[in-house]
Amino acid sequence: MLAGLIFATEDADDRVGVLAATLPFGGLTLIEFQARLLVAAGATHIILVVARMTPELLGAISRIGRRGVSVDAVRSAGEVLEKLHPLARVLVVADGVVTTSEVVQAIAAAPHDTLLVTDQMDSHYERVGANVAWAGLALLDCKRIAEVAALPRDYDFQSTLLRVAAQAAADQVRLDAHMAPGHTIERSTQALAARGNGTVAALVARPARWAERYLLSPLIRLILPPLMTRGVGTITVLAGGIAVALGAWLTIFIGHPAVGMALTYLAVGVTGVAAALAWVRDEGSVARIAEHLTPAIVAGAALLVGYGADRPAGLILATTLIIIAALLERVAGSAHARRLWASPVAYPLLMLPLLALGQPLFALGLAALYAVVTLAVAIEGFLEKP
């Protein structure tokens, strides 16, 4: 069992009376970002060590709890010990740590007590040796918390826990060159704002299927930071995607299927951005609506292409494509998707060249064939499982 222990006791460097952990960070607060990394690494219980409760911290705790983990706020090592499972491994995050999921998961996978260390001697880093400082992450056994709880309560919890771990000869993993650019300890409002949007955008999942992975995800990572910087609303972006989709459908209906399909792909991109923005902001219902809009937009475009082609062949092909694609999405939700599999994002791209050549039936037929082949491969994968 893995538990996360996040320290939120220090004030911001440039905002008196404001906890650094509650400073804005890429549309979230810093402590929410840290909790997301812990949950992604497998933590099922998050414990926050706080100096005081503030309205911002209470809101962050509520939002963290929506991610399906239990959350507790405590003030001392003894209270942490009361909340922890006796067999838990504890992933410790120092106050103000900004890092990446790769670094957190590497520490979480360590077999023994481990400290992440660095040669950098920043004022926020605590030394654990003559030329080595703690980089703010550690994986420790629950008994280290018990050892700190046995000491006088007026000792600084974070520093004392570090000393106890170091004295117990915890393994030291050095922060290497490729990890260092994304890792720091920061308590400045401006510095966190500068780092936050790009760092959070990098958390957007990299889907397995090629169209989403290589075309849609890079677009989302490019557009998310400026949207978050300007505070653009998720509903606004979603409404923009719907408006573009309606324009695409109208364009196809009046006899310009190639232009309409290009607009369809643009609409899919905008709704994908809206889904990612909603995910970042923990707007679950909006994220689900945006995710379901993508196949609906593509299905509507395919039906209109079929309606404008030779009837009834065009409508039959379009309906066949939609049914097979829906079955494939149902299967793909329960299977390990592969890189070359078809997807709602891929169909407009596949049809666009043939529509530009004035061949709507061939465009629909090719997309349907792609979906059929992918569905067959997915079913074979199920049959091969023991």
Which tens digits make up the pLDDT trace of 50-90? Answer: 988 999 999 999 888 887 889 999 999 999 999 998 888 99
Question: For the segment 282-315, what is each residue's pLDDT rounded down to a tens digit?
Answer: 787 898 999 999 999 999 999 999 999 887 899 9
**108 & 218 share domain:** no
Give the CA angle between residues 69, 72, 76 to the nearest 5°.
Answer: 145
**114 & 260 share domain:** no
How many structural domains is the chain composed of? 2
Residue 211 and residue 352: Cα distance in Å, rounded?
14
pLDDT band at 160 (very low <50, low <70, confident <90, very high): very high
Burial class of 150 by CB neighbour count within 10 A (0 to 12, 13 to 18, 19+): exposed
Dihedral sign for Cα atoms in the order 373, 378, 383, 386 = positive
**186 & 228 share domain:** no
* pLDDT of 217 higher than 90: no
CA distances for 355 relative to 25, 43, 359, 361, angstroms: 44, 49, 5, 9
**167 & 215 share domain:** no
User: What's the pLDDT score for residue 386?
Assistant: 53
**260 & 195 share domain:** no
Higher-scoring residue by pLDDT: 24, 334: 24
User: What's the pLDDT score for residue 384?
Assistant: 65
* pLDDT of 258 higher than 90: yes
User: What's the pLDDT score for residue 237?
Assistant: 95
Domain span at residue 143?
A: 2-199
> Contact at 8 Å (CB) between 23 and 189?
yes
Residue 269 and residue 278: Cα distance in Å, rounded?
14
> Contact at 8 Å (CB) between 157 and 48?
no
What is the mean predicted confidence (pLDDT) over 369-377? 93
Question: For the segment 261-275, what is each residue's pLDDT rounded down to a tens digit?
Answer: 999 999 999 999 999
State the virtual CA torsion across 89, 95, 220, 233 in degrees, nearest 10. Answer: 120
**103 & 242 share domain:** no
pLDDT band at 278 (very low <50, low <70, confident <90, very high): confident
CA distances for 132 relative to 177, 205, 206, angstroms: 15, 34, 35
**118 & 85 share domain:** yes
C-beta pairs of 148-154 under 8 Å, 24+ apart in sequence: 148/77, 149/76, 149/77, 149/78, 149/80, 149/81, 151/77, 153/76, 153/77, 153/78
CB-based contacts of 361: which residues, under 8 Å, 6+ apart?
Answer: 309, 310, 313, 314, 317
Q: E strands along 56-212, which residues? A: 70-74, 89-93, 97-98, 114-118, 126-127, 133-141, 171-174, 184-185
Dihedral sign for Cα atoms in the order 103, 228, 286, 281 = positive
For the domain that residue 262 is a member of, what is the CATH number? 1.20.120.1760
Residue 29 and residue 248: Cα distance in Å, rounded?
37
User: What's the pLDDT score for residue 335?
Assistant: 63
CA distances for 256 relative to 13, 173, 228, 248, 263, angstroms: 58, 59, 35, 9, 11
Q: Which of 12-21, 41-50, 158-167, 295-304 shows the lowest per-residue confidence on average (mean pLDDT)?
A: 12-21
Reading the block at residue 327, the tokens are 């079955």
Question: For the segment 97-154, what is each residue's pLDDT rounded down to a tens digit?
Answer: 999 888 999 999 999 999 999 887 777 788 887 788 899 999 999 999 999 999 988 8
**144 & 228 share domain:** no
Quickly tell me which residue has 């004295």 as its tokens: 167
CA distances for 12 relative to 41, 47, 96, 195, 291, angstroms: 27, 21, 9, 16, 37
What is the mean predicted confidence (pLDDT) over 359-386? 87
CB-based contacts of 261: which residues, under 8 Å, 6+ apart?
Answer: 248, 252, 301, 305, 348, 351, 352, 355
Q: Please state the pTM of the whole predicted model.
A: 0.74
> Contact at 8 Å (CB) between 140 and 170?
yes
Summary mean pLDDT of the chain:
89
User: What's the pLDDT score for residue 334?
Assistant: 61
What is the mean predicted confidence (pLDDT) over 212-239? 86
Nearest to 69, CA basis, from 35, 95, 100? 35
The rounded percent of the chain whose pLDDT value lies above 70 is 97
The rounded percent of the chain whose pLDDT value lies above 90 is 53
**23 & 131 share domain:** yes
CB-based contacts of 103: which residues, under 8 Å, 6+ apart?
Answer: 116, 137, 175, 179, 182, 183
Residue 151 and residue 157: Cα distance in Å, rounded?
10
User: What's the pLDDT score for residue 343?
Assistant: 92
**186 & 63 share domain:** yes
User: What's the pLDDT score for residue 322?
Assistant: 96
**33 & 147 share domain:** yes
For the domain that residue 94 is a member of, what is the CATH number? 3.90.550.10
**37 & 138 share domain:** yes
User: What's the pLDDT score for residue 63?
Assistant: 86
Higher-scoring residue by pLDDT: 194, 149: 149
Higher-scoring residue by pLDDT: 282, 365: 365
